[in-house]
Amino acid sequence: MSKILGLNSFGWIIKNSFFKVFNQNIKLKQRASREDLKQLRNEMVYAEIGHIIGFTFIIIIILIKLWSAQYMSALIMLVFNVIFNLYPALLQQHNKKRIDTILKQ
């Protein structure tokens, strides 16, 4: 599913652009301990919750704009909302699953 949505490409863009400076809590040293991975996972949960709250709030604003027949601004907001809130939340879920797999080993 992540390949269909292009999460790997999105993750590469995040790692190799100016977006990487936004959340410095979600970083690992080259060799991480189990505790480091657990802490990283917790930070990812908090960041994911923030993105989901932001996504929901903007969806409400988009629905209000659609109700008042401001279709173009609603469409533009929807595109940016997906890029800046939905995709980061999905990427964090994907990475949390990878961390969980490592922690189970």
Answer yes or no: is 92 within a domain.
Answer: yes
- Looking at the domain assignment, is residue 15 inside a domain? no
Question: Which domain does 40 fall in, by range?
Answer: 34-105
Say which amino acid occupies 61: I
- The total of structural domains in the chain comes to 1
| d(C-alpha 50, C-alpha 22), whole Å | 13
Q: Measure the CA–CA gap between 28 and 15, rounded to whole angstroms.
A: 12
3: buried, middle or exposed (CB in 10 Å: 19+, 13-18, 0-12)? exposed
Q: Answer yes or no: is 45 within a domain.
A: yes
The answer to whether position 38 is within a domain reads yes
pTM of the model: 0.81
Query: Does the residue 61 lie in any domain?
Result: yes
Predicted local confidence at residue 82, as pLDDT: 94
Grouped pLDDT means (10 residues each) for the chain, 105 residues: 74 78 72 85 92 97 95 96 92 91 89
Rounded Cα distance between 103 and 14, Å, is 24
Output the pLDDT for position 57.
97
